[in-house]
């Protein structure tokens, strides 16, 4: 292990133990991380982790040592949190989650970003793929019950999509190929007229879809920047986005 990795482990990153690992669909694992530091963590729904999946593994390059994963659920009293990792990428993060075991340790850092829960609207539209589902679930769970929630969650096989942490199914699932922006836009056009009052859209996942939909909401629907929240989670030409 390099000197830099040792410093990262000791000074920059928090240590957690994988308390539970569960396969929740053909392409997704749920991981429960336990750490004393979670008990005192400052948390807003929408925060994510930089997980040091390759720390200590000398066979992978430095840029492949860390990947981002959203906090799906947190229990500060017990000191644990849950994340859901999709394996479609077949990249280093996907390999890590497939091979990791309960009892293994892993290093992480909190990230805040600005793809956070925001109570300012009356109605919300959640759009995302498998990688973004846990993030959209925690946002949805933390919005007041009187909000109108519309959704468009997709994967090539809808059976790859999973239920929320409390076993509820608050979102509408669709079987759609990757990057099918035209189909997504057609579905969005049917949903928008149903939305009441101040509207907001959250779009996450495939960067191509984020860009196309951001343009549509801004240019075609004239929605303001405040109404559109986008967060590209991955880009077909890049590894380990952010």
Ligand X SMILES: Cc1cc2nc3c(=O)[nH]c(=O)nc-3n(C[C@H](O)[C@H](O)[C@H](O)COP(=O)(O)OP(=O)(O)OC[C@H]3O[C@@H](n4cnc5c(N)ncnc54)[C@H](O)[C@@H]3O)c2cc1C
Examine residue 154 and tell whether it contacts ligand X (CB under 6 A): no
Examine residue 234 and tell whether it contacts ligand X (CB under 6 A): yes
Examine residue 239 and tell whether it contacts ligand X (CB under 6 A): yes
- Give kind and range of the element (H or E) at residue 43: none
Considering the complex, state which of residue 55 and residue 195 has its C-beta at the smaller distance from ligand X: 55
Examine residue 156 and tell whether it contacts ligand X (CB under 6 A): no
Phi then psi dihedrals of residue 89, to 5 deg: -65, -30
CB atoms within 10 A of CB 70: 27
- Could you say which of 35, 134, 160, 214 contacts ligand X (CB under 6 A)? 134
- Could you say which of 70, 73, 140, 155 contacts ligand X (CB under 6 A)? 70
Count residues contacting ligand X (CB under 6 A)? 29
Nearest approach in angstroms of CB 88 to ligand X is 4
Segment 74-93, which members bind ligand X (CB under 6 A)? 83-86, 88-89, 91-93
Examine residue 240 and tell whether it contacts ligand X (CB under 6 A): yes
Position with the least CB separation from ligand X = 91
Separation between Cα atoms, residue 174 and residue 117, nearest integer Å: 24
Considering the complex, state which of residue 121 and residue 204 has its C-beta at the smaller distance from ligand X: 204
- Could you say which of 18, 57, 68, 179 contacts ligand X (CB under 6 A)? 68
Separation between Cα atoms, residue 242 and residue 233, nearest integer Å: 8
Nearest approach in angstroms of CB 53 to ligand X is 8
Contact between 51 and 240 (Cβ < 8 Å): no
Separation between Cα atoms, residue 204 and residue 129, nearest integer Å: 7
| ∠ Cα 30 108 130 (to 5°) | 35
Considering the complex, state which of residue 124 and residue 137 has its C-beta at the smaller distance from ligand X: 137
Considering the complex, state which of residue 105 and residue 235 has its C-beta at the smaller distance from ligand X: 235
Nearest approach in angstroms of CB 35 to ligand X is 18
- HEC string of 91-160 equals CHHHHHHHHCCCCCEEEEEEECCCCCCCCCCCEEEEEECHHHHHHHHHHHHCCCCCCEEEEEEEECCHHH
Considering the complex, state which of residue 121 and residue 209 has its C-beta at the smaller distance from ligand X: 209
Which token pair is 114?
Answer: 């600005």
Separation between Cα atoms, residue 199 and residue 224, nearest integer Å: 10
Query: Which among 100, 190, 173 is positioned nearest to 132, based on CA atoms?
Result: 173
Kindly list the residues in this chain that would bind ligand X in the complex (CB under 6 A). Answer: 48, 67-70, 83-86, 88-89, 91-94, 113, 131, 134-135, 231, 233-236, 238-242
């Amino acid at each position: 292990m390099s000197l830099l990795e040792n410093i990262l482990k000791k000074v920059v990153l928090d240590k957690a133990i994988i308390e539970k690992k569960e396969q929740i669909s053909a392409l997704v694992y749920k991981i429960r991380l336990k750490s004393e530091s979670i008990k005192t963590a400052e948390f807003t729904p929408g925060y994510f982790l930089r997980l040091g999946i390759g720390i200590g593994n000398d066979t992978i390059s430095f840029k492949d040592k860390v990947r981002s994963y959203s906090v799906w659920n947190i229990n500060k009293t017990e000191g644990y949190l849950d994340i859901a990792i999709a394996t479609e990428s077949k990249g280093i993060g996907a390999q890590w989650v497939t091979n990791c075991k309960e009892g293994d340790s892993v290093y992480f850092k909190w990230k805040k970003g600005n793809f956070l829960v925001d109570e300012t609207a009356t109605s919300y539209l959640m759009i995302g793929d498998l990688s973004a589902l846990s993030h959209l679930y925690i946002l949805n769970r933390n919005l007041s019950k009187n909000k109108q929630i519309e959704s468009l969650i997709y994967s090539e096989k809808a059976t790859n999509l999973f239920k929320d942490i409390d076993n509820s199914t608050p979102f509408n699932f669709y079987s759609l190929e990757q990057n099918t922006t035209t189909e997504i836009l057609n579905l969005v056009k049917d949903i928008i007229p149903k939305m009441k009052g101040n509207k907001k859209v959250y779009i996450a996942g495939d960067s191509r879809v984020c860009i196309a939909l951001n343009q549509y909401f801004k240019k075609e629907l004239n929605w303001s920047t405040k109404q559109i929240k986008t967060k590209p989670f991955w880009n077909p030409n890049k590894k380990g986005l952010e």
